[in-house]
Structure 1
Amino acid sequence: MPILLRRTFAAPPRAAFGHLGWLRGALGGVFGIAAAGTFGTLILGAGNPALPWLVAPAGASAVLVFAVPASPLAQPWAVIGGNVVSAMAGLVAGHLLGVPLLGASIGVGLAIGAMSLLRCLHPPGGACALLYALGATGPEHWGAAHLLTIVINVLALGAAGWLYNNLTGHSWPHRPVHIPVVIPGSRSAQVHQALTEVLAEWNEVIDADIDDLDAIFQAVERRIRSAEQDVPPAAVI
């Protein structure tokens, strides 16, 4: 626990302003959920309690879309495909198994597998699968019509994310920082290849695009080189 707390509070506080400030993300969340709820109400109507017009996983998706828009887990296909595929997995598991705990467990597992295979891994998808599995096994017996809710919610959220992020200084879908063209045999090609090999060796899923990692590495290397050139020769060790 002390280690966990030390690492947590050692992180620098996030600035309020700027194109990735927390205030920008918070206002984006307001806009995104307002859009999802508005379209859900207009299309599905708010008078039918059996068919929700807004579901909780949309809130989790909004955190990713507006607070960390560069994450591979927050890209449009991940947001839309991950939620919809997971909802279908939960719904199918719930109806086939009929037991809430079993349906929820299998539904989340199926969702993770499906998202991984379809390259749309999205953490809120797990919540979506859980919600739809419990809905299918609950007294309301959620069916295919309930998929309309998540489809409408994520489409509206995606449209809001595209508009808001691009208007506030962050491209979405995310585009990696431009780096020079990688020429075979050059140092840039060696760096890119080394990064690919290290990630494969670690056998870990890193929440960052390899092109972003490559751009970061090259930017750091250029900065170090520039600093070394500015240091008087006598000070160089």
Structure 2
Amino acid sequence: MISRSASLLPQAARGHLGWLRGAIGGAIGIVTAGALTMILLGSNARGFPLLVAPMGASAVLVFAVPASPLAQPWSVIGGNLLSAGIGLAIGHALGQPMIAGGIAVGLAIACMSLARCLHPPGGACALLCALGAAGPEAWGWSYLWPIALNVGALAGAGWLYNNLTEHPWPHRVIVPAGPPPAPALDYTHADIEAVLADWNEVLDVDVDDLDAFYRALQRHVVRRQRGGQARD
């Protein structure tokens, strides 16, 4: 009961000042996105937003949890742009902000899932664009420009910053070197996928990461056993 209740509590910050790395990266990413958008839009900048709110959520994923499947480049770029286009299309077609917003978000989730670019801020992009297109300002397709520039600049900043701070992005699974894993359990990727299917839950972790974690765990157990119980 205690462990179940504890799972409802906020997660503690992990790593040595890992929170600071993510915070600095997020700030750099947002400033870069706004500045680059302003420069590239030039004289047209006054007619468009220089920053769209969903980029704040994307920055959290890209800089704070860059290993997440939801934070990979294709998810960030494809998820946001695909959802923004869906939002504009539905907003123009229906003209009713509330209905258009709901349908746009639902359709964006479906399309991102099928395109393998699921990205939570994409839902916000779909809602924002549906409301803008169906509202009094009647956003046109030209509003994709500042969103695309925001997304591209944020992804570029994420690639540079994460790799410079030793967090490879796109994320690559690295299995630590060490003693061979204990032969107690022979499994395959298909076994891991079968267990996840049995759970019927969407976990924010890739199958390759689960495999790498278990293999590293096996190596750790082997080293501990070889070193004696005094190391427990």
Cα deviations across residues 71-125 of structure 1 (Å, max 9, x unaligned)? Answer: 0100000000000000011111111111010000000011101101111000000
Contact 1:33 1:62 in 2 (8 A): yes
Which amino acid in the other structure matches residue 84 of structure 1?
Answer: L
Question: Greater shift after overlay, 57-66 or 197-206?
Answer: 197-206
Aligned to 1:145: 142
Contact 1:61 1:74 in 2 (8 A): yes
Contact 1:166 1:172 in 2 (8 A): yes
Deviation at 1:177, TM superposition (A): 1.4
State the alpha-carbon separation in 1 of the partners of residues 165 and 138 from structure 2: 42
Q: Which among 154, 158, 174 is matched to residue 157 of structure 1?
A: 154
Aligned pair 1:215/2:212, yes or no?
yes
Deviation at 1:30, TM superposition (A): 1.0
Aligned to 2:30: 33
Which amino acid in the other structure matches residue 225 of structure 1?
Answer: V
Deviation at 1:191, TM superposition (A): 4.1
Contact 1:46 1:52 in 2 (8 A): no
Deviation at 1:48, TM superposition (A): 5.0
Which amino acid in the other structure matches residue 168 of structure 1?
Answer: T
Deviation at 1:229, TM superposition (A): 2.3
Deviation at 1:16, TM superposition (A): 5.0
Distance 1:201 1:149, change over 3 A: same
State the alpha-carbon separation in 1 of the partners of residues 121 and 10 from structure 2: 27
Which amino acid in the other structure matches residue 147 of structure 2?
Answer: I
Deviation at 1:52, TM superposition (A): 1.1
Aligned pair 1:7/2:7, yes or no?
yes
Aligned to 2:180: none
Aligned to 1:183: none
Distance 1:87 1:178, change over 3 A: same
Which amino acid in the other structure matches residue 14 of structure 1?
Answer: R
Secondary structure of residue in 1 paired with 2:7: helix
Gaps of 5+ in 2: 178-182
State the alpha-carbon separation in 1 of the partners of residues 149 and 156 from structure 2: 11
Q: Which among 92, 97, 106 is matched to residue 94 of structure 2?
A: 97
Gaps of 5+ in 1: 181-185
State the alpha-carbon separation in 1 of the partners of residues 103 and 118 from structure 2: 17
Distance 1:116 1:11, change over 3 A: closer
Contact 1:39 1:152 in 2 (8 A): yes
Distance 1:83 1:189, change over 3 A: farther
Aligned to 2:124: 127
Q: Which among 62, 73, 76 is matched to residue 65 of structure 1?
A: 62
% of aligned pairs identical? 54
Deviation at 1:218, TM superposition (A): 0.9
State the alpha-carbon separation in 1 of the partners of residues 226 and 10 from structure 2: 32
State the alpha-carbon separation in 2 of the partners of residues 153 and 113 from structure 1: 23
Deviation at 1:204, TM superposition (A): 2.1
1:127-206 to 2 correspondences below 5 Å: 127-178=124-175, 190-206=187-203
State the alpha-carbon separation in 2 of the partners of residues 43 and 7 from structure 1: 45
State the alpha-carbon separation in 1 of the partners of residues 224 and 103 from structure 2: 54
Count of aligned pairs between the two proteins: 224
TM (normalized to structure 1)? 0.86
State the alpha-carbon separation in 2 of the partners of residues 53 and 10 from structure 1: 33
